[in-house]
Amino acid sequence: MRTHTGEKPYQCRQCEKAFLQNSDLIKHMRIHTREKTCQYNLCDKAFSMNCYLIKHLRTHTGEKTYQCRQCDKAFSLKTYLISHHRTHTRQKPYQCYQCDQAFSQNNSLIKHMRTHTGRNHFNAAYVSRLSQKQ
C-alpha cells in the first residue's frame, strides 16, 4: 500500500534520504559506512551495492546498452549517454562561477578552473555544486 501513497517511513539519519523498505535503507547505509560487500574477483574491485558491481561488469564485457537516438554511438552507462546527448543539444549546465564560461561536461569545468587558480586538481563534487548553483 505504501507504493501507492508514496510513504517512505525508513529515513537515513546521515543524509535524510527516505526509503519504502527497511532493507533498502540498510543497503543505502553502506554508502556512508563505505562497506563494500559486492566483490568482483577478476579485478579485485568491491562495491557497496550490487547495482554498482553490475555497472562495473560492463567495463569488462564491453556491453553498451544505451544507444544514442541521434547518432550511432552507444554507451555502457546511462550517465555517459546523458552526457553525450549534450553534444547534440549544445546544453552547457556547468558554469564557471568566476568568469561565467559554461561547459557541457563537469570534467571540462574542472579543467577550466585551473586557468583561474593554477591548482592541479579540484574536488569534482565541490565544483559541480558551485557550478549548478548559478
Give 58-112 pLDDT, tens digit per residue: 877 888 989 999 999 999 888 889 989 998 999 999 999 889 899 988 888 988 8
Picking from 21-25, 43-47, 126-130, which range would have the lowest pLDDT averaged per residue?
A: 126-130
Grade residue 11 by pLDDT with cuts at 50, 70 and 90.
Answer: very high
What's residue 92's pLDDT? 93
* pTM as predicted: 0.48
Q: Using alpha carbons, select from 75, 76, 37, 79 the residue that is nearest to residue 56.
A: 76
What's residue 114's pLDDT? 86
CA angle 14/96/71 to nearest 5° reads 90
What's residue 77's pLDDT? 84
What's residue 134's pLDDT? 41
From the centroid of its chain, how far is CA 35?
19
Grade residue 1 by pLDDT with cuts at 50, 70 and 90.
Answer: low
Q: Is 19 exposed, middle or buried (0-12, 13-18, 19+ CB in 10 A)?
A: middle
Find cell 567495463 and name the residue: 59
Residue 1, SS3 per DSSP: coil
Tell me if 21 sits within 8 A of 27, measured CB to CB: no
What's residue 133's pLDDT? 43
Residue 67: phi and psi, rounded to 5, are: -100, 135
